[in-house]
Structure 1
Amino acid sequence: METIPRNLKTLSSSFFLFGPRGTGKSTWLRQHFPEALWIDLLDPREQRIFRAHLEHLLERLMGDPERTVVVIDEIQKAPTFLDVIH
């Protein structure tokens, strides 16, 4: 698959990346933040764990202090997470 360069800059603070499905948002994030702690809510297991016990999300976020970037992919699958992380 050929990628098209985007006019996006990485930011030093938190941000949301919105766009239509299949446009390369996750690919762009993986390329620019390869060391990020990645939480993929399309994974039914992760979604089930975090929905049942939201405190596990905080434990996971705080449990790896070396990682300064966290990506929560498909956060629209669990909008209550925004109350915790935003």
Structure 2
Amino acid sequence: MDWNTSKNRDFEDMIQGKPGLIILDGEMNNKLMKKERMTKAVLESMLRQQGVFDISEVRVAFLELSGKLSVLKRGEDSEYKGDETEGTKD
């Protein structure tokens, strides 16, 4: 990736934002929840709407720019190859 492409992508992220990793391996990202002013009750409600009744079932979940939740349950085939070192306990 050249410098120009990198800078354009950074600018696009700054203007439009990007989805936030809100759950990784059943652990809530408290830092993101605080930033988005989301309570645990709201997140749990959103998970139930996705058919998830126990947060430990979640491999990864993203809070999309639209405010919706994208969830990948444990054991489902995954294309997610994200950075496993991203903190979720902040």
Shorter-chain TM range is under 0.3
TM-score of the superposed pair, with normalisation by structure 1: 0.23
TM-score of the superposed pair, with normalisation by structure 2: 0.22
Report the structure number with the largest CA radius of gyration: 2
